[in-house]
Amino acid sequence: VDANTGVSTTTQFNVGYAQSAGFEIISRNELFKWWNITSSINLYYYRISSNNSFGDLNNNSISGFGRITSNWKFLKGTEAQLTMGYWAPQAAPQGVAKAIWGIDVGIKRDFWKNRLTVNLAVTDIFDTRRFAIESRGEGFELDLYRKRETRIATLTLSLKLGKQDAGQRRNRRDGGGGGDMDEGF
């Protein structure tokens, strides 16, 4: 902090290196024909290190993230999805990046023999995804908070033209699985 103006200057620079090692477990469970849940958890050790003109900046943490996605099929041609995600705190060069979490929701409906698909989705419905970092060092303390626009609603309309079975034959001939891999969520 400049004693005359009271202005603080923050400088960003590339650190020496970062290393991480960990594992991920993914599980898909079909609870009923109309309901399935996919869960994933990723745990890892993270180390960041630098030796530069600002001194030795070394920090490490055990961190991770997890996600649960629940899919429901109800009524004919209607599907809903709820996704919850949590990112644990992680080491930063001079502090820690705080935890982040959020929930997304979507619903999809097919019409006209699956030729028209309407998809409505809302990301971060509780508007909780925000970046925060606590940083401490010789002569300073910094609590940084940043929030981007994360609660976003989208409405997507997809119309399939032409014969659908012709595209499926082409996919099989090209080595594809014969259908879309992405359900639109």
**Do residues 78 and 108 lie in contact, with contact meaning Cβ atoms separated by under 8 Å?**
yes
Q: Residue with structure tokens 């200057």? A: 9
- Tens of pLDDT along the chain (185 residues) come to 566 787 777 676 666 778 889 999 999 999 999 999 999 999 999 988 877 666 677 888 899 999 999 999 988 889 999 999 999 999 887 889 999 999 999 999 999 888 899 999 999 999 999 999 998 877 778 888 899 999 999 999 999 987 766 555 555 455 544 433 333 44
What is the pTM (predicted TM-score) of this model?
0.71
Taking the alpha carbons of 161, 113, 33, 66 in that order, is the dihedral positive or negative? positive
DSSP state of 160: -
The CA-atom distances, in angstroms, between 151 and each of 57, 101, 131 are: 35, 13, 14
d(CA 93, CA 91): 7
